[in-house]
Amino acid sequence: MSTATVVEKIPPLQVRGRVTQLRVALSEWTKLWSVRSTRWSLFAAFLFTIGVAALACAVVAHHYPHMSPHDKADFHPLEVNLAGVQLAQLAIGVLGVLIITAEYSTGMIRASFTAVPKRLPVLWAKVGVFGAVTFALMLPAVLVAFFVGQAILSRQHINTTFGAPHVARALVGAALYLTVVGLFGLGLGAIVRNTAGGIASFAAIMFVLPPLMNVLPASWNNAASPYLPLQAGEAILSTTPGGHLSPWVGLGLFAAYAAAAIVVAAVLLVRRDT
């Protein structure tokens, strides 16, 4: 305990800057990497993409000699190789939701919006940083998964190559697809502002809605289903051309869904009390 006459002084600050979009992005970069669960989710998505692909390829390579001619005809070496993306999308989507909802649940959002009271720069920075990190991480993951998976399949001489038709597009597309999945989750999270609600709405739209379409008359189902976010997005992964939506149109539609969610979130963000 000091004596009563000692008056605390805070050291003066020499440099005085202003808030810029780039600085807010740097702040979001720090936020992204300084939480353990975030690092783990990204690491898990990276490992799933490679590990599940290797596992799926190994299983198929092992069973291939015993497969029926019908199954052999259906088999495509890239499709099995992208099995890991199915699991990775869950980790990335949930992380997208969490990046914003965890700020609400912990109260961090009040600190964020006090530092940046115009608010929108925070949302743009989250979209930019999380999108860039996801793509930068998932592209090498998908490529490593491809070369590992094809090496395994090559033992049965059932592999494909990077130069084969559709392969390069599907691989780069897979990384882009995962990026859009993450941003869609981010948009939904920013609208709902609640972790449980955000993850539930993400899972409902992505994974529950498609099988639910089966209750519709077949003609309606067939007409509508390709335009759902998941189906549209997955067109970019297809190895057999001639789907309902072409690969890039499908991914574009999925990206439009994500963009719509983010725009709605932006409008609500500036209007709502925190």
Partner 1 sequence: MIEAHGLTKDYGDKRAVDDLSFTVEPGVVTGFLGPNGSGKSTTMRLILGLDAPTAGSVTVNGKSYRDHAAPLHEAGSLLEARSVHTGRSAYNHLLALAQTHGIPRRRVNELIDLVGLHDVAKKRAGQFSLGMGQRLGIAAALLGDPQTVMLDEPVNGLDPEGIHWIRNLLKGLAAEGRTVFVSSHLMSEMALTADHLIVVGRGRLIADTSVDEFVSRASGNVVHVRSPQADDLAGLLAATGVTIVAVEPGLLAVTGLTAPQIGEAAAGRGIVLHELMPQQVSLEEAFMDLTRDDVEFRAGTAEHPTEAAA
Question: Interface with partner 1 includes 17 (CB under 8 A)?
Answer: yes
SS3 170: helix
Q: How far is the CB of 102 from partner 1 (least distance, A)?
A: 6
| Distance from chain centroid for Cα 209 | 18
Question: Interface with partner 1 includes 261 (CB under 8 A)?
Answer: no
Q: How far is the CB of 269 from partner 1 (least distance, A)?
A: 12
Q: Which two tokens stand for residue 80?
A: 């099995």
| Contact status, residue 256 vs residue 246, Cβ threshold 8 Å | no
Q: Which two tokens stand for residue 47?
A: 């490992």
Question: Interface with partner 1 includes 118 (CB under 8 A)?
Answer: yes
Q: How far is the CB of 190 from partner 1 (least distance, A)?
A: 16
Q: How far is the CB of 116 from partner 1 (least distance, A)?
A: 6
Q: Which two tokens stand for residue 169?
A: 């597009």
- b/e map 235-244, b = 16+ CB within 10 Å: bbbbbeeeee
Question: Interface with partner 1 includes 194 (CB under 8 A)?
Answer: no
What single letter denotes the amino acid at residue 245? L
Size of the site for partner 1 (CB under 8 A): 45
Q: Which is nearer to partner 1, 109 or 251 (CB)?
A: 109
Question: Interface with partner 1 includes 7 (CB under 8 A)?
Answer: yes
Q: How far is the CB of 230 from partner 1 (least distance, A)?
A: 30
Question: Interface with partner 1 includes 20 (CB under 8 A)?
Answer: yes
CB atoms within 10 A of CB 105: 13
Q: How far is the CB of 44 from partner 1 (least distance, A)?
A: 16
Residues 89 and 206: their CA atoms lie apart, in Å, by 10
For residue 124, give Cα distances in angstroms to 102, 140, 153, 262, 263: 17, 25, 42, 9, 10
Instruction: Please select the residue that binds partner 1; options are 9, 66, 70, 157, rule is CB under 8 A.
Output: 9
Helix 36-63 × helix 21-33 angle, to 10°: 70
31-60 residues in contact with partner 1 (CB under 8 A) are: 31, 34-37
Question: Interface with partner 1 includes 19 (CB under 8 A)?
Answer: yes
Question: Interface with partner 1 includes 215 (CB under 8 A)?
Answer: no
Q: Which two tokens stand for residue 32?
A: 């992204």
Q: How far is the CB of 137 from partner 1 (least distance, A)?
A: 20
What single letter denotes the amino acid at residue 188? L
For residue 30, give Cα distances in angstroms to 112, 141, 150: 13, 23, 37
Site mask, partner 1, residues 74-113, x = CB under 8 A?
A: ----------------------------xx--xxxxxx-x
* Positions in the binding site for partner 1 (CB under 8 A): 1-2, 4, 6-13, 15-20, 23-24, 26-28, 30-31, 34-37, 102-103, 106-111, 113-118, 271, 273-274
